[in-house]
Amino acid sequence: MLAPQAEAPRQHRGTDRSGGSARIREISWTDFDRHVQGLAKSLRGKVEVDAVVGLAHGGVFVGGALAAVLKIEFFPVRLAPRSRDTGQSGVKVHGGMPRELKGRRVLLVDDVSASGDALRSGLSALVKVGAKAVHTAVLLQRDLGYAADFAALRRDDFHVFPWDYDTRGTTPVAGVDPDTAGA
């Protein structure tokens, strides 16, 4: 089990892009652990995977936790800037998929599935590297979004994840460089 968060962080790191009409739901580390455990349970017996690829940024948290629960190898992968960050469509894998994934059964993981740009890009890159079979999993599946194979939650509410907070309470997400933050 993952260690629960001691207290709720004081400041959001992300931007609410829901237009103000959606309900905001906060997910604690305890909720996160419960959802990851449920996701792992839904995978068991349905698919065989021997590696997890987590798409940076949020997919690294979900993928890393899932790989730990499933006791299989984990590979974090960084995508080029997402369409929602740049206003342009299309996403590409930054630096490519690890070659060690050739011939392996892979679970491609992200935190949210909405447009599907990130998952489609990851799937394409995994096919190019020669992955034997690929399934997708997300923590949150948008009702009208790209359908991942497995999802812990299916809803359109705006969600704030535990990693959306700055533990010091001072740095907005736009000021964090994932290359230097360890993502």
Q: What is the CATH number of the domain that holds 98?
A: 3.40.50.2020
Specify which of 82-91, 123-132, 174-183 reaches the highest per-range mean pLDDT. 123-132
Q: Is residue 183 part of a domain?
A: no
Q: Quick check: 122 and 149 in contact, CB under 8 A?
A: no
Number of structural domains in the chain: 1
What confidence tens digit (pLDDT) does each residue in 54-64 have?
998 899 999 99
Provide the domain limits for residue 132: 24-168
Q: What is the DSSP string of 84-108?
A: HHHS-----BSS---GGGTT-EEEE
Q: Which of 2-16, 104-118, 169-183 has the lowest mean pLDDT?
A: 2-16
Q: What is the pTM of this model?
A: 0.73
Q: Is residue 16 part of a domain?
A: no
Q: Is residue 173 part of a domain?
A: no
Mean pLDDT of 137-153: 90
pLDDT band at 92 (very low <50, low <70, confident <90, very high): low
SS3 15: coil
Q: Is residue 46 part of a domain?
A: yes
Q: Is residue 134 part of a domain?
A: yes
Question: 2 φ, ψ to 5°?
Answer: -80, 150
Q: Is residue 111 part of a domain?
A: yes
Q: Is residue 155 part of a domain?
A: yes
